[in-house]
Structure 1
Amino acid sequence: MDFGLDGKTALVTGGGGRIGSEDCAVLAAEGAEVVVLDVAEDQAESVAGDVEDDGGTAHTVVCDLTDREAVADTITAVREETGGVDVLVNNAGMVDARSRMEDYDDDVWDRDIAVNLTGTYNVTRQVFPAMCERGWGRIINMSSMAGWQGGFGQASYSATKAALVGFGKTLALEGAQHGVTSNVVAPSIVVGALADLPVDQLEQVDEHFARIAKATPMRELGTEADVANLVAYLASEQSSYITGQVVGVTGGIDLFSF
């Protein structure tokens, strides 16, 4: 299937990370010109280099999404270089918080709000109006199962990922009559090559991952490619009648089972 991304520019925030880099690879393979935005220059350059080695087109952009002025300047520069952003994948986020509420670090809370939520707002604010003016656009917010159902010891992460659902649905309402869709992807845990291991072998590597696999109806964990393939579809021409939706990539772990 031709996803109709030839000639489109896709900006992926956090593009140097595990999921972001796979998003970049799949979008580029579908014909999009990819902008790899990350605060870590080495990682962004590595991903862009891999895309180009595979025959795609990629640009490296280094930007701190919490710096609103820097974001505005960055998007202006991207627009001048590429002609405009057609697909925005809001993938950047912090996920390392692990603490009960009584011990929660205020600085971690503030940081996660600034990066996961306000950073997403900052870049979307610069991109979304131009999409509406051109009459075509795709916004894809990366939430999480923790945003649906909470996450023990993850108050700031869960709160910001839940907020991205409301943010994405609001954009869907505002963009609906302008050819701009907005959807939310909510993965469970994705573990790359470890997903290929049967549960008994996974237990020898990581007991936590093994417990999650056992609780998943499919009895296996997901991969970054599982997420990126959905992102590419939601970015496509074929997804034009899908907006305001939260789509899980979970192997069924969110289902009630006994």
Structure 2
Amino acid sequence: MDFGLSDRTAVVTGGGGRIGGEDCRVLAGEGAEVVVLDVNLDAAETVAEEINDGDYAGEAHAIECDLTDREDVSETVDALEEETGGIDILVNNAGMVDARDRVESFDDEIWDRDIAVNLTGAYNITTEVFPHMKEREWGRIINMSSMAGWQGGFGQLSYSATKAALIGFGKTLALEGAQHGITSNIIAPSIVVGQLAEMPIEQLEEVDEHFARIAKATPMRKLGKEEDVANLVAYLSAEQSNYITGQVIGVTGGIDLFSF
């Protein structure tokens, strides 16, 4: 299926990371002009160079931007709007996921950091991009939540809270954008582990017992890969998904299902 992205510009926040990088590669493979936006310029450049040096239909640009700095975000979006002719697709993928602690001993600074990056960062760039989409009467916004945002995550207080908030954020964008050709959807992946997803559970147990337990609890009996998420990002960015908005879509292998 041709997703018709050859005349579209996509911005992927956290585009230098594992999932964000694969989002960029898949969108470029569908012909989009991709902005790999990351606070880590080296990581963004690595992804952009891979796309530009490879067999992709689209092209990529590496842009350094701190999503927690509103002035930086505003200036970056203004420049991109002028240079690209308009941002059509915004993937709010950037996020911190490293915090692990119980409620009673959770670090206040880590809480504030995760709110600033995971939630306020998405707010900062979306509020800059949304008015331009509204003017053009077309836009796609994809917010990266998590199963931890849907169902909670033990020891993941700040991560779960911010990912849950992105669901309400994305649904509100869907309501406000619905009459202006803008869709907003939320993706909620389970564990995404790259090549480890190919391992049989018995072998995975030797590498990471925690991952193996999750794989055993997943009806498909395996974990997810980055492309499982990125392929959905590409579809939700396309014209073909124009009647899908405000939805939370799990990429989970069925782990969210109640099963006997």
| Range of TM-score over shorter length | over 0.9
The aligned counterpart of 2:47 is 47
Distance in 2, Cα, partners of 1:7 & 1:49: 20
**TM-score, normalised to structure 2's length?**
0.99
Tell me the amino acid that sits aligned with residue 12 of structure 1: V
Query: 5 Å matches for 1:84-163?
Result: 84-163=86-165
Tell me the amino acid that sits aligned with residue 14 of structure 1: G
Tell me the amino acid that sits aligned with residue 18 of structure 1: R
The aligned counterpart of 2:234 is 232
**Secondary structure of the residue that 1:49 maps to in structure 2?**
helix
CA deviation string 1:164-202 (max 9, x = no partner) = 000000000000000000000000000000000000000
Distance in 1, Cα, partners of 2:165 & 2:135: 26
Find the partner of 1:192 among 183, 188, 194. Answer: 194
Distance in 2, Cα, partners of 1:50 & 1:159: 34
Task: Quote the offset at 1:81 in angstroms.
Answer: 1.0
Task: Quote the offset at 1:2 in angstroms.
Answer: 0.7
Task: Quote the offset at 1:71 in angstroms.
Answer: 0.2
Task: Quote the offset at 1:246 in angstroms.
Answer: 0.2
CA deviation string 1:202-254 (max 9, x = no partner) = 00100000000000000000000000000000000100000000000000000
Distance in 2, Cα, partners of 1:80 & 1:130: 11
Tell me the amino acid that sits aligned with residue 177 of structure 2: G
Number of equivalent positions? 258
Distance in 2, Cα, partners of 1:25 & 1:60: 13
Tell me the amino acid that sits aligned with residue 44 of structure 1: A
Tell me the amino acid that sits aligned with residue 43 of structure 1: A
Q: Which runs of 4+ in 1 moved over 4 A?
A: none
Distance in 1, Cα, partners of 2:53 & 2:23: 16
**Secondary structure of the residue that 1:66 maps to in structure 2?**
coil
**Secondary structure of the residue that 1:61 maps to in structure 2?**
strand
Identity of aligned residues (%): 76
CA deviation string 1:118-166 (max 9, x = no partner) = 0000000000111011011000000000000000000100000000000
Distance in 1, Cα, partners of 2:10 & 2:199: 33
Find the partner of 2:246 among 241, 244, 247. Answer: 244
The aligned counterpart of 2:218 is 216
**Secondary structure of the residue that 1:226 maps to in structure 2?**
helix
The aligned counterpart of 1:60 is 62
The aligned counterpart of 1:72 is 74
**Secondary structure of the residue that 1:140 maps to in structure 2?**
strand
Distance in 1, Cα, partners of 2:41 & 2:113: 20
**Secondary structure of the residue that 1:217 maps to in structure 2?**
coil
Tell me the amino acid that sits aligned with residue 187 of structure 2: V
